[in-house]
Amino acid sequence: MASVLASIEGPIVLVGHSYGGAVITNAPAGNPDAKALVYVAAFAPDKGEQLGVLLNKYPGSLIGSSLQGVPYPNPDGTTGTDLSLRADKFRAAFAADLRHLGEQAAERGASSCSAAPRTPPHQAAA
């Protein structure tokens, strides 16, 4: 990420949501153009605090139990583990407070939901 930030001219404001907060925390280290970090419902680890520790710091989090690991080879021959959230656990762990699209449609009295794109009014045929 440091190389991406170095390619930006002018002041930089990094915004992180959820896990992105942990990503932005150390990303601008040493970059004088990094002016602010904004955390939006995000992890904000203390200096030296590991995300794995932070995940288990407060009771009730579903994130740790929702992770799956996939091994990958490192250039030096060792093996690392890429962690991701299982798709079937994502909503409960990250968006449990949001209603499902079907629930929203039912509240509006709709009998079904459609994922078909809609034509914006300014593009509709007259």
Tokens of 113: 């939901």
Q: What is the value of pTM for the model shown?
A: 0.56
Residue 44 and residue 1 share a domain = yes
> What is the average pLDDT value for the chain, to the nearest integer?
80
Percent of the chain with pLDDT over 70: 78
For residue 23, the 8-state DSSP code is: H
In 7-97, which ranges are continuous DSSP H helix? 20-26, 51-55, 63-66, 90-94
Tell me if 121 is assigned to some domain: no
For residue 10, the 8-state DSSP code is: S
CA 90 to mean position of chain CA atoms = 11
pLDDT tens digits for range 77-114 = 999 988 888 989 988 887 777 776 666 656 666 544 44
Tell me if 3 is assigned to some domain: yes
Tell me if 42 is assigned to some domain: yes
For residue 80, the 8-state DSSP code is: E
Q: Please count the structural domains in the chain.
A: 2
Query: 62, 93 in Cβ contact below 8 A?
Result: yes
Tell me if 116 is assigned to some domain: no
